[in-house]
Structure 1
Amino acid sequence: MKSIFTAEELAGTWVGRVWNPVEQGPSVVTIRAGRVVDITSPTAPLVRDICEMEDPAGFVRTAEGVDLGSIEEIAANRPGDRRVVHFLAPSDLQPVKACGVTFARSMVERVIEEQAAGDPARAEAIRRRVQAVIGESLRNIRPGSPEAARLKEALVAEGMWSQYLEVGIGPDAEVFSKAQALSAVGWGAEVGIHPMSQWNNPEPEVVLAVNSRARIVGATLGNDVNLRDVEGRSALLLSKAKDNNASCAIGPMIRLFDGDFTLDDVRVAELDMTVTGEDGFVLNGRSSMHEISRDPEDLVAQTIGAHHQYPDGFMLFLGTLFAPTEDRGAPGQGFTHKPGDVVEIAAPGLGRLVNTVRLCTDCPPWTFGVRALMTNLAARRLL
């Protein structure tokens, strides 16, 4: 099995969560010398609490802890088995938000989904028509700029305006709720596709950890699963297409910003993704953060401010460049997931996130919510 972190990445400052069978609840952990160390305490019973500190990385580096085992040992344990230590999503009370249509190339695919009304058989012909009209003109357009406004006028005249282009090159970013607090799955877990969808794909993304004061304190990887046919049928189905059981994976852990890793590293992150199917199909993809149309700080500012507060902070998916068009089956049908697909997302500095795709109705149900967490922490005298 490949390592979750490279030797260089292990030198970073990491915070995350595991299921602790002794406590029958989650523990806050960090990585030290390749070992997973429990640093849960009354001072910081939650990852949320660490993110709210003035110096999260400094606290994590010096916190006393208990060795729970090696990364490899814990990674080998089955997620969801409450008898063993296993990785959870690294966030807890933070709601999971996501930004859509933040890359020009994937924005074109969203337009195609809309024009095809969710029918993959129509997508290829529409793709040729859309690209003939739009071409490469979107790549250097700054959202909300006068140039973007002129392009909008030209597209309206061509009958090609779209709600996706509105948020892609207009002044306002698309920010939506991806998952409730505690509902995201972590490293090695099953990630869910709603059974209503027949055309869907993974979305490899960088996910920011943002505290209640709008300060970005770290980053991790995420898979914002996309149901192309459901969202393509109607934008009003977005919430159903984005939020279901095991709707997204986050992990393996949050790398906290410090002197060796900052937001500038996120801005140039290169994400590689591989999908390996039980049928032998392999899909390789890539997302380059340097091609994002909106800066991460702008996306955070459009999410939190005088208009919306998050007292426990939030996790923010930044969007993806990846939009697969490679045929998996019949010509012109494009790519879609099949149950059993293994999705691996990796980026230098952020580690490696691996999940297996299932129907969300076949994934383990989400049962450990906020009340269960509070009850568990109170019983452990951590609150």
Structure 2
Amino acid sequence: MRFAKVRRGANDVGVVRVDDQNRAFALDLASRAGVGSLADLLASPDPAALAIELTAPGTPAEALDTLALLPPVDRQEIWAAGVTYKRSKVAREEESVGAAQFYDKVYSAARPELFMKATPERTTGPGGPIRVRRDSKWSVPEPELTLVVSPDLRIVGYTVGNDVSSRDIEGENPLYLPQAKIYHGSCAVGPVVTLASAMPPLADVTIRLVIRRGGKVGFEGETSVSSLNRTVESLVEWLGRENHFPTGVLLMTGTGIVPPDEFTLSSGDVVDITISGIGTLSNPVA
């Protein structure tokens, strides 16, 4: 089962459940006390059963692609992990020669690199624009399997994430990481949340990135979650150490696809990230 947030009017935001035929069924959140958002639904002990309960008899099916989709996040922070794929490790060593030893160490260390990526207000959804920093000359998308985690640190679902990054700013000095990673328009998630129980085995999940420029493919690449150097459970366990997420949290798990050094995102590009079991997150570059 999958879930999506939809906008039906200026002040009308709802939640739908999505079946295998991409048919969406509106959920009546008002019918259950304590369930007022997608985050509340995902924090429940059994989101799938609760979603069926919240589907009123006779609820008509709607085609998912006819709905205005919002990022599937409410009040949760969005965090990210870095250097979790060998390709990412190599790329970051190349972009910052002076700090290469640190990227090598964190790749094999027990403690992962974790950083806060965005708040809901800074997050873009399906079809929304992403941005590159005006003071960056080398920016790339980072397609990432994103964990949807409940307040009690259960991985309840998965979505697609785009951790847009300024490689030249981070490469100049690793201490500039927050500026390279955290700025307006640097984070996109969606289009849906697939419950963990509905996902294929993670070892079989593929991530595909296609960047179109002027109607033509400017770059494309693919990787598999099987290449992830850490387990998703260990990333959540580390994130939860000395941290408290009362409304849950989303955690991007790192990228294994890195465009060549001569490639940088440009205004007008369209970035498509497809993850098996979830769908495609598409965003134009503003």
Taking structure 1 as the reference length, the TM-score comes to: 0.69
> Equivalent of 1:220, from 129, 140, 159?
159
Maintained 8 Å contact 2:170/2:176: yes
Maintained 8 Å contact 1:110/1:164: yes
- Amino acid corresponding to residue 203 of structure 1 in structure 2: E
Count how many residue pairs are aligned between Structure 1 and Structure 2: 280
SS, match of residue 250 in structure 1: strand
Q: What residue is the counterpart of 1:283 in the other structure? A: 219
The structure whose Rg is larger is 1
CA RMSD across the alignment = 2.0
Q: What residue is the counterpart of 2:271 in the other structure? A: 343
Which structure 2 residues correspond to residues 158-177 of structure 1 after superposition, within 5 A?
Answer: 162-177=101-116
- Unpaired runs of 5+ in structure 2? none
| Deviation string, structure 1 residues 232-262 (Cα, Å, up to 9, x no partner) | 111222112111112111111000122x436
1:234 aligns with 2:163: no
Q: What residue is the counterpart of 1:36 in the other structure? A: 24
SS, match of residue 193 in structure 1: coil
- Unpaired runs of 5+ in structure 1? 1-12, 75-85, 118-159, 326-332, 359-383
- Amino acid corresponding to residue 254 of structure 2 in structure 1: G
Higher strand proportion (structure 1 or 2): 2
| Deviation string, structure 1 residues 363-382 (Cα, Å, up to 9, x no partner) | xxxxxxxxxxxxxxxxxxxx
Which structure 2 residues correspond to residues 19-30 of structure 1 after superposition, within 5 A?
Answer: 19-21=7-9, 24-30=11-17
Q: Note the C-alpha offset of 1:31.
A: 1.8
Q: What residue is the counterpart of 1:310 in the other structure? A: 245
Q: Note the C-alpha offset of 1:337.
A: 0.7
Which structure 2 residues correspond to residues 1-383 of structure 1 after superposition, within 5 A?
Answer: 13-21=1-9, 24-32=11-19, 34-42=22-30, 43=32, 44-65=35-56, 67=60, 69-74=62-67, 86-115=68-97, 162-258=101-197, 260-261=198-199, 265-278=201-214, 280-305=216-241, 307-325=242-260, 334-358=262-286
- Amino acid corresponding to residue 286 of structure 1 in structure 2: E
Maintained 8 Å contact 2:37/2:74: yes
Q: Note the C-alpha offset of 1:29.
A: 1.8
Q: Following the alignment from structure 2 to structure 1, what is the Cα–Cα distance between the partners of residues 236 and 202?
A: 14
Q: Note the C-alpha offset of 1:163.
A: 2.0
Maintained 8 Å contact 1:35/1:67: no
- Return structure 1 stretches of 4+ with deviation > 6 angstroms: none
Maintained 8 Å contact 2:140/2:166: yes
62-71 or 282-291, larger mean C-alpha shift: 62-71
SS, match of residue 151 in structure 2: coil
Q: Note the C-alpha offset of 1:57.
A: 1.8
- Amino acid corresponding to residue 17 of structure 2 in structure 1: T
Taking structure 2 as the reference length, the TM-score comes to: 0.91
| Deviation string, structure 1 residues 66-122 (Cα, Å, up to 9, x no partner) | 558422222xxxxxxxxxxx111111111000000001121011011112x8xxxxx
Maintained 8 Å contact 2:165/2:186: no
Maintained 8 Å contact 1:191/1:355: yes
Q: Following the alignment from structure 1 to structure 2, what is the Cα–Cα distance between the partners of residues 58 and 166?
A: 44
Q: Note the C-alpha offset of 1:40.
A: 4.4
Q: Following the alignment from structure 2 to structure 1, what is the Cα–Cα distance between the partners of residues 80 and 257?
A: 15
| Deviation string, structure 1 residues 188-233 (Cα, Å, up to 9, x no partner) | 1111111111101111110010011110001011111121001111
